[in-house]
Amino acid sequence: MSLLELRGVTAGYGQFTALWDVSLSVAAGEAVAVVGPNGAGKTTLLRVISGLIAPRAGGLAFDGAALGGKPAYEIVAHGVAHVPEGRRIFPVLTVSDNLKMGAYLPAARRRFAESLERVYALFPVLAERRAQRAGSLSGGEQQMLAIGRALMSRPKLILLDEPSMGLAPVMVLRVFDLIRRIREEGYTILVVEQNVRQVLKLVDRAYLLEVGRIKMEGRAAELGEQDFVRKAYVGL
């Protein structure tokens, strides 16, 4: 059974439509990527799922509950954590205070110490820098902090928006490795990513989004082998 199900979702901003009739699903324990060129609607898709934008048409179900048009705080309470593009950490707060901000829901607060221990075990560098201001971390460390903060809410689904954007190549590999480890912990992941070659190694399935429409979907290994995807997005 799908944990997340989108059926015929159309959404946009003002007069502009960014997504047209998009359907996709993510099963519990699965890692799924949405790939495609800039301006394809990938960020809009995640914003619809996390309640930052209401769909104009279509339906959205998560863990059996209809969530289309529900406010973002309700969707977080259902177990969806969104790591936005550009990380959006609180730069003047310490690393540990940023992580605390991720555990503001009552259920997460009750298990705060346990969650914190888990995040520090996954990201030892954050434990070392717990008293440092988040703004003084490197780009890669800030990305780890953003992911760690999302994990503090004990989510059922993690949405990752362009986690490798703006990072040095060596950090890109580290971030993908960390996502792989989070996967192995049993988290369900939906990731939007420009770095197609790397992300296809990480996920079970992928959707190709082009100008707001799903153009192709399949097992990650099969998509990577298709000429069209290789030439257009993987640079081969």
Boundary residue ending a domain (104, 132, 154)? 154
Q: How far apart are the C-alpha atoms of 135 and 89, rounded to whole Å?
A: 8
Least confident of 87-91, 93-97, 127-131: 87-91
Inform me whether the pLDDT recorded for 6 exceeds 80.
yes
Q: What is the pLDDT of residue 132?
A: 97
The predicted-structure confidence for 11-63, as pLDDT tens digits, reads as follows 999 999 999 999 999 999 999 999 988 888 999 999 999 999 999 999 999 99
Please indicate whether residue 221 or residue 160 has the higher confidence score (pLDDT). Answer: 160
- Residue 233: pLDDT band (50, 70, 90) is low
Q: What is the pLDDT of residue 105?
A: 85
- The parent domain of residue 75 ranges over 1-79+156-236
Q: What is the pLDDT of residue 23?
A: 98
Residue 31, classed as helix, strand or coil, is: strand
Kindly report the length of the chain: 236
The residue type found at 40 is A
Single pTM value for the model = 0.92
Boundary residue ending a domain (154, 171, 200)? 154
Q: Are 212 and 13 in contact (CB under 8 A)?
A: no
Q: Which residues contact 171 (CB under 8 A, 6 or more apart)?
A: 138, 139, 140, 143, 164
- Residue 231: pLDDT band (50, 70, 90) is low
Domain count, the chain: 2
Say if residue 13 is in the same domain as residue 52: yes
Say if residue 38 is in the same domain as residue 130: no
Please indicate whether residue 88 or residue 66 has the higher confidence score (pLDDT). Answer: 66
The predicted-structure confidence for 140-198, as pLDDT tens digits, reads as follows 999 999 999 999 999 999 999 999 998 988 989 999 999 999 999 899 999 999 888 88
Say if residue 63 is in the same domain as residue 93: no
Say if residue 75 is in the same domain as residue 14: yes
Inform me whether the pLDDT recorded for 236 exceeds 60.
no
Say if residue 62 is in the same domain as residue 106: no
Say if residue 162 is in the same domain as residue 74: yes
Provide mean pLDDT across the span 69-97. 91
The predicted-structure confidence for 106-132, as pLDDT tens digits, reads as follows 888 899 999 999 999 999 999 999 999
Say if residue 134 is in the same domain as residue 233: no
Say if residue 114 is in the same domain as residue 149: yes
Residue 224, classed as helix, strand or coil, is: helix
Share of the chain above pLDDT 90, in %: 73
Give the CATH number of the domain where residue 41 resides: 3.40.50.300
| 124 token code pair | 């030892």
Say if residue 211 is in the same domain as residue 184: yes
Q: Give the 3-state DSSP-derived string for 75-122, with helices as H, strands as E and coil as C.
A: HHHHCEEEECCCCCCCCCCEHHHHHHHCCCCHHHHHCHHHHHHHHHHH
Say if residue 56 is in the same domain as residue 74: yes
Stated as kind and residue range, the H or E segment containing 13 is strand 2-13
Phi, psi of 178 (to 5 degrees): -65, -40
Say if residue 75 is in the same domain as residue 136: no
Q: What is the pLDDT of residue 228?
A: 63
Least confident of 95-99, 133-137, 139-143, 155-159: 139-143
Say if residue 64 is in the same domain as residue 91: no
Inform me whether the pLDDT recorded for 92 exceeds 80.
yes
Boundary residue ending a domain (154, 174, 206)? 154
Inform me whether the pLDDT recorded for 235 exceeds 60.
no
Inform me whether the pLDDT recorded for 234 exceeds 80.
no
